[in-house]
Amino acid sequence: MTGTRVLVLNSGSSSLKYQLLDMRDSSRLAAGLVERIGEQTSRLKHTPLAAGGDAREADGPIADHDAALKAVAQELARDGLGLDSPDLAAIGHRVVHGGMFFTQPTVIDDAVIAEIERLIPVAPLHNPANLTGIRTARALRPDLPQVAVFDTAFHTTMPESAARYAIDPRIADRHRIRRYGFHGTSHAYVSRATAELLGKAPEDVNVIVLHLGNGASASAVRGGRCVDTSMGLTPLEGLVMGTRSGDMDPAVIFHLARVGGMSMDEIDTLLNKRSGLFGLCGDNDMREIRRRIDEGDEAAALAFDIYVHRLKKYIGAYYAVLGTVDAVAFTAGVGENAAPVREAAVAGLEGLGLAVDPGRNAVRGDRPRIVSPDSARVAVAVVPTDEELEIATQTYALVGKNT
């Protein structure tokens, strides 16, 4: 392997996010996003980070992912970072669902693509979009190693007691129903970065990671290995999220169908896209919710309380799962920025050794930091996540090993 650059692609159904990194120092050379692919109003936003210039935006129809990646390649070429360069070592793809099969990042070949395809029934929205990105990138650079990094892989270490639902295992196995978990690259990165922040090896610490973005999940990580996580067969289970309900009595679904007369698709949309903070108060952005609370808005206050109550329950549950906890790490948009969420989530948990120092918690920053008092038994940390760097790191390590 001669190159040192890795292109990270995160391909959604109508979007393509990318970053180009130089793995000699993990620096970001360029980053960008193509939105609304397939529509008349597509937009490409490209930031030439290495060149230090302003972001460039181009509007106009981009028909498909193939055209999107070619447009990205052109932008990169303008910065002298063309995808035909020998400096490009590999492309790393985010793939949402790797099922039980993919426990590690994997070099992509036809058999790997076929297996990702077989998993479409458990990830009908995400895996087809991820596959489109993979196929497009392979067509553009068929000679280049391409690596799939799975959102589920970090969670494949969960014991059966945590991964199984309490249903007939024959039915579960026939339909591949079990708890897979998601946001795995983030949980992996943040749990390791938290150990580093504590000055310890990942094997020597137990961490509760709270990934609170628009999607949100918690994980219990013992000695660097995930032992439980809050998302399940799909990302719908667990915490209250921006637009997802999280945990609910499954009988709510029967009730909505039988008594409410809703179709399965309507219920799916309701619980995934119109619930959570948005469903409760009409806003899914925590900044807006805090602003409304400050103005005395009761619906926003109740949404916040429900969000925090669920979060606290998971902290308690994972504390019990782990037995001893070295740190609780907050990450992603809400976790990194919303000091009131961190404060409220650990309020009253002094008995568990958990507290935030109000002064430390109020300080903003983009570096990992501890926001608990020095005297606290358990560190409360804010650890910015970096899924692209994690995908690039895993991709580069795997390609380096194979050449």
State the Cα–Cα distance between residues 387 and 333, nearest whole angstrom.
Answer: 13
Give, as one character, the DSSP assignment of residue 330: E
State the Cα–Cα distance between residues 332 and 335, nearest whole angstrom.
Answer: 5
In the set 22, 79, 151, 326, the catalytic residue is 151
State the Cα–Cα distance between residues 372 and 159, nearest whole angstrom.
Answer: 31
The minimum distance between CB 319 and ligand AMP, in angstroms, equals: 24
State the Cα–Cα distance between residues 335 and 242, nearest whole angstrom.
Answer: 13
Q: Count Cβ atoms within 10 A of the Cβ of residue 2 and give its class: 0-12 exposed, 13-18 middle, 19 or more buried.
A: exposed
Question: Which spans of this chain sit near ligand AMP (rule: CB under 6 A)?
Answer: 213-214, 242, 284-287, 332-334, 337-338
The minimum distance between CB 339 and ligand AMP, in angstroms, equals: 8
State the Cα–Cα distance between residues 33 and 11, nearest whole angstrom.
Answer: 10
Our CB check for ligand AMP shows the closer of 255 and 287 to be 287
Could you tell me how far CA 364 lies from the centroid of its own chain? 22
Residue nearest to ligand AMP (CB): 333
* Nearest alpha-carbon partner for 327 in 372, 284, 283, 297: 372
Our CB check for ligand AMP shows the closer of 13 and 263 to be 13
State the Cα–Cα distance between residues 386 and 391, nearest whole angstrom.
Answer: 9
Place of tokens 């990205």: 72
Our CB check for ligand AMP shows the closer of 105 and 213 to be 213
Longest dimension (CA), the chain: 63
The minimum distance between CB 92 and ligand AMP, in angstroms, equals: 19
The minimum distance between CB 337 and ligand AMP, in angstroms, equals: 3
Our CB check for ligand AMP shows the closer of 12 and 333 to be 333
Our CB check for ligand AMP shows the closer of 91 and 339 to be 339
Tokens encoding 171: 């039915």
Active site residue 305: no
The minimum distance between CB 113 and ligand AMP, in angstroms, equals: 28
Catalytic sites, residue numbers: 151
